Amino acid sequence: MNTRNKFYSLFFAVLLFCLFHSGNISAQFYSIRTNLLGLATGNLNAEGSMALSTRWSIHLPVQYNPFDLWEDAKLKNITVAPGIRYWMRETYGRGCFFGLHGVFSYFNAGGIFGHRYRYQGTAWGGGLSIGLARPLSRHWNIEFELGGGIVWADWERFRCAHCGRRVGKDSGLRLLPTRTAVNLVYLF
């Protein structure tokens, strides 16, 4: 078992432990969630959260995509986007929230939808988001979140046909969607 597989196994073990043994954890003011859209695109992700008060909460999402999609297409990245939320009604309650988050990502992506290049580099920045939470049961919520931000990126561009050959290097600010999520939330 190589290092990558060990990481995957550990990630899912932590996630399942949290889901099925949450009753034994005295952390009712915490939550863990995963972005279903991210999972659908092959991004393994989890987000831990803690309520600071009845209106504020802090969040730490982590995303990791180690997969090659098809041929030269890939969306590999490891991203951390810590942030805080202000809840209009109550933390984790029904209603809207606004979020402020930072982003750090190491990415290796390209060849998607016929794009000829692959980009590899790092990015960091910050953004704002808005979302809506709906309680499903005592412990489960579903959230919809959409946000964007300014990201400074530094990347190298490679031709996919010759993935090892760098054809360019660039950096700069980009206005990007930094949050697109349909989160399934478990409350402790």
Residues of this chain that bind another protein (CB under 8 A)? 26-30, 50-54, 89-90, 93-95, 135, 137-138, 187
Q: Which is nearer to another protein, 89 or 116 (CB)?
A: 89
Closest approach of another protein to the CB of residue 135, in Å: 5
- The CA-CA-CA angle for residues 130, 40, 92, to 5°, reads 35
| Contact between 76 and 65 (Cβ < 8 Å) | yes
Of 22 and 120, nearer to another protein (C-beta) is: 22
Please state the closest distance from residue 88 (CB atom) to another protein, in A: 9
Q: Give min distance, CB of 86 to another protein, in A.
A: 14
Would you list the DSSP string of 123-171? EEEEEEEEEEEEE-SSSEEEEEEEEEEEEEEEEEEEESTTTT-EEEEEE
Counting runs of H as helices and runs of E as strands, what totals does the chain give? 2, 10
Q: Which is nearer to another protein, 56 or 104 (CB)?
A: 56
Residue 91 is encoded by which pair of tokens? 């933390």
Comparing CB distances to another protein, the nearer of 3 and 137 is 137
Q: Where are the beta strands (DSSP E) in 4-43?
A: 30-35
Structure tokens at 147: 């946000």
What's the closest the beta carbon of residue 98 comes to another protein, in angstroms?
17
* Phi-psi map region of 22: left, alpha, beta (phi>0 left; psi -120 to 50 alpha): alpha
Q: Return the number of the residue (93 or 148) whose C-beta is nearest another protein.
A: 93
Cβ at position 187, least distance to another protein in Å: 8
